[in-house]
Structure 1
Amino acid sequence: MTQEMDVKCSTLSGIPTPHIISPYLELIFLNRKKYLGIVDFQPLYEDEAMHASTFESMLAPIKQQYPTLKVKVSSKFYDKTQLFSDEMLFTRFDDESVVFDELFPAFQEYVASHVDMIKQSTPCHDIEQCNKVLDRHGAYDTYSAERDPATGLFAAMFGKEWADEFVYDFLFGLSEKPSMDEKAKKDEQPSKNPYANSSK
């Protein structure tokens, strides 16, 4: 049976409250002639070793099952040293069968792991620690809002103003939207987003 792909772009974030010490669950799927897929648990700690020992041990066995999802991350999308884990699933491909054979099954397993982690978590009553979690989520949102490859596609389809509001206020609601002056300076500089100059 053939399954046809007509989804152009999908971004999904699973965001626990800051009272639960848990990372983001992030899915980005982009269909623009070629496919791009990203699934990750966003680190809560700047020290990768702390994140790895706490969260990544449950992801490594899943990632090992899906060789197509181990593509090296291009620096034009993300700086892997910031806010991304060593167990991030990243893939670029032409054959849409990868979606059904590897990407979606792996995503389901990551979701199941994330749900189990939330169920086993206990509320954090340390205000300082809760604020650190919230700040980390905010930093991730701001970084992603500036670089998300879907932004350029949204801008091409619906206009830049709509795309910026959707990305900053909805997709990455904890992000810091640039001021008018910052936005003007940013527009004069080469974009960090590889799809920012996309056209219809």
Structure 2
Amino acid sequence: MDFADVGRILLRRWPITAPLMLLTVAAVAWAMLGVPQQAKVTGHVTLLPQREQYSPAIGDTVTQNPWNPVTLADVIEVRLSSAALAEDLFERGYRGEWTVSVINTGAAIIAIEVLADTETEAHRIIDVLDDLIGEEVVTRQESFGLADGAKITAVPLSDADLVERDNSQRRRIAVIAAGAGLVTTVAAAGLAEWLSRRRRRAAAGY
């Protein structure tokens, strides 16, 4: 059976397929118009390198920082992307999804893209992740006994947050509704066709 055969069955069983197709169209329309848009907010935190003007006093023991902004940012990216952190924040009432990436511009910029039902919730997640970045920067360096001038510092760029409306959830639900409707319609038409042929064969004595 090819697509032409399926099309002929759908047309022949239009009393069944027409209502199902209308329901499918209605479900897709509801998904595209009725499902709320989500908010996508991208926040940024830059890791500043050790101060260039830092110079130890004569006779001081100098401890070199084993981190540079990029390597430290890479480690933090792994922490922020972990399933354990996502589960912990979910249990604390944060509702959203996020992805983390590192932009290397000499200093390192950590970009956090959050998808949530509301802009307020997305900003809540950005704020808590900014705090975690600050804690990680301090924790990863504190065991080395570094002078302040030798430390990498984290600076959230809250004025650089990018806010967008996201329709990916709408599209995902619309695709699911269309697929489910099409499968149901074809299955119903196929079942009706099979039952009809079975009755005809029974009437003919087969």
State the TM-score, normalized to the length of structure 2: 0.28
Greater share of strand:
2
Greater share of helix:
2
Higher RCO structure, 1 or 2 (CA under 8 Å, sep 6+): 2
State the TM-score, normalized to the length of structure 1: 0.28
Return the index of the structure with the highest Cα Rg.
2
